[in-house]
Every structure is written in structure tokens, then in C-alpha cells.
Chains A and B, each alone.
Chain A
Amino acid sequence: MIPLSWYMALAAVLFSIGTYGFLVRRNIIVMFLSMELMLNAVNLNLVAMSHYLDSLVGHNFVFFIITVAAAEAAIGLGLVIVLFRNKKTIYVDHINELKG
């Protein structure tokens, strides 16, 4: 029997790897990919917890999270294409019209 804390530790490490990728990379596509890593870490936590709690609520949550991730990927990558068409770059530090 695998203890629940192993799954939670793996999910925590994967989540911080995703955060690292999101904060560090310049390429907006890799930033989106890091976001998928974070969503997967949360999914792993939900499935592991609902397995140890004898419940199916977490499994259904994972189902909805995967749906939202698919929608987010479709719209986000559409935005990346528009960005590349208008600005000819996909690097987040080149997109500085607002001088923020």
C-alpha cells in the first residue's frame, strides 16, 4: 500500500516545476505547457485523495478539469497564433506596448 503522502509530495514537486517553467521561460507556448503541468499536479492530488477517501467526487472534478484544460488550450493557442500574426514574436518580454 502506497501512503497518500507520497502522491501529495509528487504533486507538490510537479506543481512547483510547473510554476518554475511558467515564471522562467520567455516562450509563451512553453508557458502554456507549464500550466498544463500544474493542472496535472492538481489532478493527481484529487485522484489520490478521493481514492484514499473512498469517494468519487475527486474523479469527477478531474473530468471537468480535463475539459476546461482542453478548452483553455484551444483558446490560448488561438491567441498565440493571433499574437504571432500581428507581432511576429512569441516572446513575452517583446510584448510591451503597455509599458507595464
Chain B
Amino acid sequence: MVNQLLFLYCAVVIIGTGLVAVRAKNPVYSVLSVMVLFFHMAGLYLLLNAEFLAAIQIIVYAGAILVLYLFVLFLVSLRQEVKIERFIASHGVSTVVSVCLGACLLAIIPSFKLGAKGQYPVERIEQLTHTKAMGLELYSNFILPFEIAGLILLIAVIGGLVLARNEKEVNE
């Protein structure tokens, strides 16, 4: 019962802050409401016994990615942003498309059936602790994707450096 109330609270806050994020006039409000959304998403991960992912969600998403968004938002000019139109000209069509997409996704949920059970029931994860269980799975079955993820991060570092460098100032 407590869990269900907690879920409903998180769900209401997530949907509300999501709508604020996509409709707010000032993009800074969008970024800050997405931050609230990420914290409640971490709460949902805790409800699902995924405490490592909840920590990652707060540290990486709310801590690193959103701060990057805020910095870039302050680098580009914001003065005219709050005055001019914030939606594209054909936003009516886009609204219809996304509402239809949501209705379709909600309509197919009842026909979903769970597959075969895996080998990590909650008791085993609790006994191993979630971080250790995830590490065992990660380093035994997902070692190649793990290496590729490291390569992707390296490419992101080099790409970010190359893109953000100011050619004119370097040449002068």
C-alpha cells in the first residue's frame, strides 16, 4: 500500500514536471524541472530494488548531464528567448501525432505477456547486494559491450573537444 502510494506520487510528479519541461517558456525552467523528474525517476528505481541505478541516475544524469545542459544554455544567448514564439508553426500536427503515439502505446500494454524468469530473483540480489550482482553480470556476460562503451566515451571526449574549440582564436 505504501509502495503504491509512493509510486503514484512519483508518477504524478514525473508527468507534471515532464509537461512543464516541454512547455515552459524559459529553457532554464525546462532544465530544472527535468532535474526534479530525474530525482523522482531515481525514487522509482529504488522501488524496483535497483539502488545502484538510482545512484547512477542522480550522479550522472542529474549531476553531470543536466549541468552540461545548463552551461550550454548560458553560453547561447537567452535574451530574446522568453519574448518570441516557442513552438514551431505546425505544432498542431505534432500534438496530434504524439497523442496518437501515446494512445497506441497505452493500448498495447494489456496484451503484453512476461517471458521466462531469469536467474536473479530479489532474494539473491539482496543477498549479493545489487552492485555486486550487476558487476558479476556485467563482467561475465557483457564484457564486449562494456569495452565498446568505453570507446564511445573516448569518442565523446575527443569530439566535444574538437567541436567546442574556437578555430579563429587558435589561429591568431
Q: Contact residues of A with B, CB < 8 Å?
A: 1-2, 4-10, 12-21, 23-27, 29-30, 32-34, 36-37, 40, 43-44, 47-57, 59-60, 62-64, 66-75, 77-82, 84-85, 90, 92-93
Cβ-defined contact, B160 with A53, below 8 A:
no
Cβ-defined contact, B18 with A66, below 8 A:
no
Cβ-defined contact, B112 with A64, below 8 A:
no
Cβ-defined contact, B145 with A64, below 8 A:
yes
Which of B102, B116, B134 makes the CB contact (< 8 A) with A63? B134
Chain A residues within 8 Å of B138, by CB = 60, 63
Can you identify 20 A-B contacts, CB atoms within 8 angstroms? A5-B109, A7-B48, A10-B11, A12-B102, A17-B18, A23-B91, A24-B95, A25-B86, A27-B27, A36-B65, A37-B22, A43-B41, A44-B44, A48-B48, A60-B145, A71-B155, A75-B156, A75-B159, A77-B69, A77-B72
Which of A16, A37, A70 makes the CB contact (< 8 A) with B153? A70
Closest to A79 in B: B163
Cβ-defined contact, B11 with A6, below 8 A:
yes
Cβ-defined contact, B109 with A12, below 8 A:
yes
Please classify the interface of chain B as helix (H, G, I), strand (E, B), loop, or mixed, using the class held by over half of its residues: helix
Q: Contact residues of B with A, CB < 8 Å?
A: 3-4, 7, 11, 14-15, 18-19, 21-22, 27, 30-31, 34, 37-38, 41, 44-45, 47-50, 52-53, 56-57, 60-61, 64-65, 68-69, 72-73, 75-77, 81, 85-89, 91, 94-95, 97-99, 101-102, 105-106, 109-110, 112, 114-122, 125, 130, 133-134, 137-138, 141-142, 145, 149, 152-153, 155-157, 159-160, 162-164, 166
Cβ-defined contact, B76 with A71, below 8 A:
no
Closest to B15 in A: A13
